[in-house]
Structure 1
Amino acid sequence: MPSPTDNAEDAPTNAPATCPMKEWPRALHHIDRKELYVNLESRIHYLHTFLDFSSNDIEALINGSKYVKALIPAIVNIVYRKLLQYDITARAFQTRSTSFEGPLDEFPSEDSPQIMHRKMFLRGYLVKLCSDPSKMEFWEYLDKVGMMHVGQGRQHPLHVEYIHIGACLSFIQDTFTEAILSHPRLQLYRKIALVKAMGKVIWIQNDLFAKWYVRDGEEYAGSETDKVAVEEEGYLHGQRVVGEPDEMLSSGNFSASAG
């Protein structure tokens, strides 16, 4: 008996294509690719489900916020000490761009006015990371942080190349992880929960940086860049969403300071 392949050349070539997913033995979650690039809420929902970001993570962030807030001033100093160790990252504070390769008149130090100014905003940003991630405003602001580093949405554009963004986020995560795991008063199960929740938030932030840098989904790009509003740092849709960092660290009005 001839095998099925013997007459393969005689087989019709105009047979309709079949989708292999239709034959998949189990149900799959459908993700609309276009929605990932044109709808921030859809993108966040996908990342939440993929990373199993749940109410447990939100609870861990809220209950652990008072411990994280106490770490923030020291972590800010550590981060800027690291950034000022390299000329390519230090130049962003002098030229507002890491791609500039010309000479610098002087390198900023940890006590330079522009560094003290940047430290203030990093403190506010890190406090924001520990606020209420159940609200879409939380993720909108993290997306805006990504946008602002590619030269959009600011009166004085800032351009930081993605390699430095990714390295800095990893350094922040590593510093937080060590500080939380070595905390003398937190029980182990709370340390684990807080480290996991912080890690997920930071990796979603990493994606929201990458979203503005990579070319994936560019076929769906329309005139979104024309709609970008120029706002002060700490503002979203004209409303302040990141308060004065020193006040937030000491205020009892911080929304995620329960626990």
Structure 2
Amino acid sequence: MMAEHIDKTRLNNDIRYRFDFISKLIDFSQDDVTRLNSLAPIITPLLPVVIDSVYKKLFAFDTTKRYFQVRNDGFEMFTPNKELGITLDIVQTEFRKDMLSVYLKSILTQREWNDSFLEYLSRVGQIHTNKGGSASINVDYIYMNALFCFLEQLLSDIVWNSEGLQYNDKREGMRAISKFVWIQNDLLTMHFSSTWNSGSTCQSIPIAKLTKCLFI
């Protein structure tokens, strides 16, 4: 069997080409997208619990909690009111919780992983680095990697414990979640790599003007 030629230059310049290659490697297909869509009614009602668990975990360590105490782009005009318990970290945390909710809902409901959606997934990685237009945020990759690992566990647990799914549906659902996480992880990793041509990333993404850090 002749091996398919892969252009390494295009892997580091073309998100669609990179996604198609990774998809072939891990057998991610439209069936997986459809499977994620089918999980939306099961997972979406439990997202508030998932997101609270994520941020409880992030606040459990000083090295991740510190990102919520840095004045992020977009909060320059915010004035804390400690008498009312309104602090910068609380307001920024609520913003990031909302963004994480929007992101997960998009993953579960997106029916076609078109170029615009891939640019969005790419931007999720880029925005957490100093390449994303935010001078105040440069999250270490170790935290982003761990965050998505923890997210995968939480989402998989929901699927596994769902009484409305047959065993095969649970298995395929958990596999689809795992594949999504590893695709997103690759699109995170490339922005922490010196080989990726960051200038090729399109700015026309579903959520406009992402000048702030999203999750951390």
TM exceeds 0.5? yes
Note if 1:112 corresponds to 2:90: yes
Task: Describe the shift of the 1:120–1:135 C-alpha distance in structure 2 as closer, same or farther (beyond 3 A).
Answer: same
Question: Is the alpha carbon distance of 1:149 and 1:189 closer, same or farther for their aligned partners in structure 2, counting shifts above 3 Å?
Answer: same
Query: How many residues are aligned here?
Result: 194
> Which residue of structure 1 lines up, in the alignment, with residue 38 of structure 2?
63
Judged with a 3 Å threshold, the aligned counterparts in structure 2 of structure 1 residues 184 and 238 are, in CA distance, closer, same or farther, namely closer
Q: How many Å apart are 1:144 and its aligned residue?
A: 0.6
What is the percent sequence identity of the aligned residues?
A: 27
Q: Which secondary structure state, in structure 1, belongs to the residue aligned with residue 147 of structure 2?
A: helix
What CA distance in whole angstroms lies between the structure 2 residues aligned with 1:124 and 1:63?
Answer: 17
Q: TM-score, normalised by structure 2?
A: 0.81
How far residue 167 of structure 1 moved from its aligned partner, in angstroms, is 0.6
**8 A contact 2:12–2:18 mirrored in 1:** yes
Query: Residue 167 of structure 1 aligns with which residue?
Result: 146
Stretch deviating more after TM superposition (186-195 or 150-159): 150-159
Structure 2: distance between partners of 1:204 and 1:187: 26
Q: TM-score normalized by structure 1?
A: 0.68
Match of 1:123 in 2: 101
**Alignment match, 1:146:** 125
> What residue number does 1:101 align with?
none
* Partners of 1:187 and 1:205 in 2: CA distance: 27
CA 160–28 in structure 1, closer or farther in 2 if over 3 Å, else same? same
Is the alpha carbon distance of 1:238 and 1:172 closer, same or farther for their aligned partners in structure 2, counting shifts above 3 Å?
closer
What displacement does 1:155 show? 5.2
Q: Which has the larger radius of gyration?
A: 1
Question: CA 1:96 to 1:181, structure 2 compared with 1: closer, same or farther past 3 Å?
Answer: farther
Answering whether residue 11 of structure 2 is matched by residue 33 of structure 1, we say no
Partners of 1:192 and 1:228 in 2: CA distance: 34
The structure with the greater share of residues assigned to helix is 2
Aligned to 1:54: 29
Task: Give me the whole-angstrom Cα distance separating, in 2, the residues matched to 1:112 and 1:175.
Answer: 23
Supply the distance in 1 between the matched residues of 2:99 and 2:70 (Cα, whole angstroms). 18
1:191 aligns with 2:170: yes
Q: Does 1:43 align with 2:18?
A: yes
Q: In the alignment, is residue 237 of structure 1 matched against residue 204 of structure 2?
A: yes
Q: CA deviation at 1:152?
A: 3.1
- Which structure is richer in relative contact order (CA contacts within 8 A, separation 6 or more)? 2
Structure 2 partner of 1:135: 114
Over residues 90-148 of structure 1, what are the superposed CA-to-partner deviations in whole Å (9 max), with x where a residue is unaligned?
Answer: 00111269xxxxxxxx9x99x92221121111111111121224322222101011010
Tell me, yes or no, if the aligned pair for 2:127 and 2:134 is still in contact at 8 Å.
no
Amino acid at match of 1:211: M
1:61 CA displacement: 1.1
Q: Tell me what 2:184 maps to.
A: 205
